[in-house]
Amino acid sequence: MEAKRAGQVVEINISPDPEVLPKPVPRVRAVPGRGLKGDRNFFEGPGTQPERDRELTLIATEALDALAEENGIELTAAESRRNVATRGIDLNELEGKRFRVGDVECEGIELCEPCNHLQGLTKPGVLRGLVHRGGLRAAILSEGEIAVGDTVAPLTDTP
């Protein structure tokens, strides 16, 4: 399968605790049905993650730039609580589609709309400022490593 328009991974953030600000890492292991090793949403139990939309979350740095420009709110990729920050690809277009992050195949499950919890952890106005551009929740379909600098690209002929 060939990629259409591609973007790039510019930051990866994980945290073992939901109350701790995620920390940047240069690479992370993605495991289908489980998530990202070392992350708070990595499923340790038997079988697979019951909530596939928690395996991987992505946000476009362009959305964070727009939040700052339009609302005067500076928010880092780590503060967004999303795992992977991208540049150069419209993540909303990947909803319901298969795509690759490096060598890892994923499927966009749903938009990752901002919530009151995120706003409570960050700054007033974040919820309103990130509506319809808060990122993407995805399932991991193949095991592999995701690294800063990897290509993010939709796959052609996806179901």
Strands lying side by side in the sheet with 144-147: 35-36, 27-31, 144-147
Give the pTM.
0.88
Fill in the DSSP letter of residue 91.
Answer: G
pLDDT at 136 over 80: yes
Between these two residues, 159 and 47, which has the higher pLDDT value? 47
Does the domain at 7-11+22-154 match CATH 2.40.33.20? Answer given as: yes
| Residue 67 confidence (pLDDT) above 50 | yes
Cβ-contact 123, 16 below 8 angstroms: no
How many CB atoms within 10 Å of residue 72? 10
Strand partners, 100: 105, 153
Task: Work out the mean pLDDT of the chain and round it to a whole number.
Answer: 88
Whether the predicted pLDDT of 141 surpasses 80: yes
Q: Both tokens of residue 12?
A: 């990866």
Residues constituting the chain: 159
Q: What is the pLDDT of residues 98-115, one digit of tens each?
A: 999 999 999 999 998 776
Instruction: Tell me the domain boundaries of the chain.
Output: 7-11+22-154
Neighbours of 23 (CB within 10 A): 12
Structure tokens at 40: 């708070």
List the one residue out of 41, 44, 152 whose CA is nearest residue 106. Answer: 152
Q: Where is pLDDT greater, at 19 or 22?
A: 22
The CB density around residue 148, as the number of other CB atoms within 10 Å, is 17
